[in-house]
Amino acid sequence: FFSDRPIISTVEYRVLKDGKQIRSHTLTSHVKDKNNTDESSPFYTAVGFHADTTNRVYVVFTGGGDVYVMQVSPWIGDTPSKIPLKNPISNFMMPTPRNGSTMIDTIDMYGIGPKSEDMHYVRVRLGS
């Protein structure tokens, strides 16, 4: 990296229709530069989408060792909510309708724990 340039880490959400972008949102971002040199700064390492039984769509992502969830469709302009986990995970996998799973009102994740040889299962119940 170039020492005089900030490192910007973002999670972006885009909606396309007929090949054209019709909506664009930066869901979260973090800048690491000479003013913010914290080594534990968020770098977003995993992102997944979850659709519930009412067709709401959520984005789930990891950043700085934490997991966050945010509703993105219908768009409500909310901020990401941290999912409080006893054992943090990263680089998770999620079942989704696109890979053959049914839509449910819980988010299931299977991911790597703090030690690379640890795998953890997480189930998050979505509020109404």
Q: Kindly report, residue by residue over 92-106, the tens digit of the pLDDT.
A: 999 988 888 888 999
Residue 57 lies in a domain: yes
Structural domain count of the chain: 1
Residue 73 lies in a domain: yes
For residue 74, cis peptide bond before it (omega within 30 degrees of 0) = yes
Helices (H), strands (E): how many in the chain? Answer: 0, 9
Residue 97 lies in a domain: yes
Residue 86 lies in a domain: yes
Q: What percent of the chain has pLDDT over 90?
A: 45
What does pTM read for this prediction? Answer: 0.82
Residue 2 lies in a domain: no
Residue 1 lies in a domain: no
Dihedral sign for Cα 119, 52, 77, 13, please. positive
Domain extent, residue 67, equals 7-33+40-125
Residue 120 lies in a domain: yes
Q: How far out from the chain centre does Cα 111 lie?
A: 13
Which region holds residue 99: left if phi is over 0, alpha if psi is between -120 and 50, else beta? alpha
